[in-house]
């Protein structure tokens, strides 16, 4: 799905969409305010503002109920969402809308999520058109009004379906960040709408899109962790001087900056590859998988460094740092962990052969 606008128009449009998202997050998703709100009263106003701006259905054409933004514009929203570590199903609704749009299914209003959210889970289309299967670690399933489901039948056909969330059985779970990561079971559930997926569309494509979304969110969270850590190091006084003056702290901040930069480079490169590709070929697979692996590694290393700079204070519930570090760690496992994708990447390299490795790596 390539971008049809000129380069300058795309960049300008991306900036407008990203600035809109940033303003909404800054006004309604400030980390300090959220941290003090134990009742979650901040969520409804934030979601309403996002909906009014058309951001949850960014990747849905206007004739299917969306705002018709480009892939690049939507990716810029996810980067901003990561920088604020928001705990509402924005990324999930965007992915669900994108999935439904592949089959020209109109997206409904309200929160959505995609099922399955793991490459190892499968949903099945029964002979009567109903859906069955179990999907684990589905983000925000409990909060979703609808599911966008990718399912296959006994003959190998792939379908995309819109399902009323109340028709499924949801077992509540939480990820490291304290957000819903639920198990969804469908037992001969009749979908609201079901249509065949486009030719060649499969679960890997959905997982790659989800993986790049999470990579961008992780990169955004790392940017915020770096900013928070640098600010703290310039405020904290120890032995009569700022801790930012100590060489060991400077070294740690440099390492954190390196992890943040690496994650951002990998995630934005993968997003650019998908936004400009005409198909999900091996080059896109390499970019998306490499980004998920690298960003997952950066989440672990970067989060540890940020907390080390802060000392014990960063682990307390009162401090905002854990909002970013724990969510970045949780996002590592969504849509395939780094270990899963490392194996799949190894399989791709082996199947193509040694002579094809460098041309593949140098293809972008």
pLDDT number for residue 255 = 97
Q: For residue 328, what is the domain's CATH number? A: 1.20.140.10
Query: Is residue 66 domain-shared with residue 176, that is, in the same domain?
Result: no
Q: For residue 140, what is the domain's CATH number? A: 2.40.110.10
Query: Is residue 232 domain-shared with residue 337, that is, in the same domain?
Result: yes
Residue ending a domain, choose from 165, 200, 235:
200
Domain around 147: 111-200
Residue ending a domain, choose from 184, 200, 216:
200
Instruction: Look at residues 46, 7, 5 and name the one whose alpha carbon lies nearest to residue 23.
Output: 46
> Which parts of the chain register pLDDT below 50?
1-10
Cis amide linkage into residue 180, ω under 30° from 0: no
Instruction: Look at residues 364, 80, 17, 71 and name the one whose alpha carbon lies nearest to residue 216.
Output: 80
Q: Is residue 166 part of a domain?
A: yes
Query: Is residue 30 domain-shared with residue 71, that is, in the same domain?
Result: yes
Determine the Cα–Cα distance for residues 352 and 167; give it in Å rounded to an integer: 43
Count the domains in the chain: 3
Residue ending a domain, choose from 144, 174, 200:
200
Determine the Cα–Cα distance for residues 337 and 86; give it in Å rounded to an integer: 21
Q: Is residue 293 part of a domain?
A: yes
pLDDT number for residue 6 = 44
Question: 200-218 in b/e burial notation, b at 16+ Cβ within 10 A?
Answer: ebebebbbbbbbbbbbbbb
Determine the Cα–Cα distance for residues 148 and 103; give it in Å rounded to an integer: 11
Query: Is residue 236 domain-shared with residue 300, that is, in the same domain?
Result: yes
pLDDT number for residue 315 = 74
Q: Is residue 177 part of a domain?
A: yes
pLDDT number for residue 39 = 86
pLDDT in tens, 80-100: 999 999 999 999 999 999 999
Whole-prediction pTM: 0.94
Query: Is residue 285 domain-shared with residue 212, that is, in the same domain?
Result: yes
Query: Is residue 45 domain-shared with residue 182, that is, in the same domain?
Result: no
Q: Is residue 98 part of a domain?
A: no
Query: Is residue 207 domain-shared with residue 355, that is, in the same domain?
Result: yes
Q: Is residue 100 part of a domain?
A: no
Q: Is residue 91 part of a domain?
A: no
Query: Is residue 145 domain-shared with residue 130, that is, in the same domain?
Result: yes
pLDDT number for residue 340 = 97
Query: Is residue 9 domain-shared with residue 130, that is, in the same domain?
Result: no
Determine the Cα–Cα distance for residues 343 and 315; give it in Å rounded to an integer: 33
Query: Is residue 274 domain-shared with residue 327, that is, in the same domain?
Result: yes
Q: Is residue 105 part of a domain?
A: no
Instruction: Look at residues 56, 62, 60, 71 and name the one whose alpha carbon lies nearest to residue 20.
Output: 56
Q: Is residue 159 part of a domain?
A: yes
Query: Is residue 245 domain-shared with residue 280, that is, in the same domain?
Result: yes
Query: Is residue 356 domain-shared with residue 209, that is, in the same domain?
Result: yes
């Amino acid at each position: 799905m390539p971008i049809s606008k000129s380069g300058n128009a795309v960049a300008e449009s991306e900036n407008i969409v990203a600035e809109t998202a940033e303003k909404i997050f800054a006004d309604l998703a400030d980390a300090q305010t959220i941290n003090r709100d134990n009742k979650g009263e901040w969520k409804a106003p934030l979601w309403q503002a996002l909906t009014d701006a058309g951001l949850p259905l960014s990747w849905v054409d206007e004739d299917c109920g969306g705002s018709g933004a480009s892939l690049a514009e939507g990716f810029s929203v996810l980067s901003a969402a990561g920088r604020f570590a928001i705990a509402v199903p924005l990324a999930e609704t965007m992915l669900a809308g994108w999935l439904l749009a592949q089959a020209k299914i109109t997206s409904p209003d309200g929160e959505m999520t995609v099922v399955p959210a793991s490459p190892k889970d499968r949903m099945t289309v029964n002979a009567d058109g109903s859906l069955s299967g179990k999907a684990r670690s589905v983000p925000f399933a409990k909060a979703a009004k609808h599911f966008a489901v990718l399912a296959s039948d006994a003959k190998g056909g792939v379908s995309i379906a819109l399902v009323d969330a109340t028709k499924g059985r949801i077992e509540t779970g939480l990820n490291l960040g304290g957000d819903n990561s639920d198990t969804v079971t469908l037992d001969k559930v009749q979908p609201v709408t079901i249509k065949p997926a486009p030719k060649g569309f499969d679960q890997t494509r959905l997982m790659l899109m989800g993986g790049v979304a999470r990579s961008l969110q992780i990169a955004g969270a790392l940017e915020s962790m770096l900013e928070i850590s640098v600010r703290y190091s310039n405020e904290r006084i120890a032995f009569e001087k700022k801790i930012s003056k100590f060489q060991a702290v400077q070294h740690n901040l440099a390492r954190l900056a390196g992890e943040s930069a690496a994650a951002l480079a990998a995630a934005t490169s993968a997003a650019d590859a998908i936004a400009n590709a005409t198909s999900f070929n091996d080059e896109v697979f390499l970019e998306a998988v490499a980004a998920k692996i690298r960003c997952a590694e950066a989440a672990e290393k970067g989060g540890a460094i940020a907390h080390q700079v802060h000392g014990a204070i960063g682990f307390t519930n009162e401090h905002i740092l854990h909002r970013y570090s724990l969510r970045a760690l949780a996002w590592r496992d969504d849509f395939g962990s780094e270990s899963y994708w490392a194996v799949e990447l190894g399989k791709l390299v082996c199947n193509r052969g040694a002579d094809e490795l460098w041309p593949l790596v140098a293809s972008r």
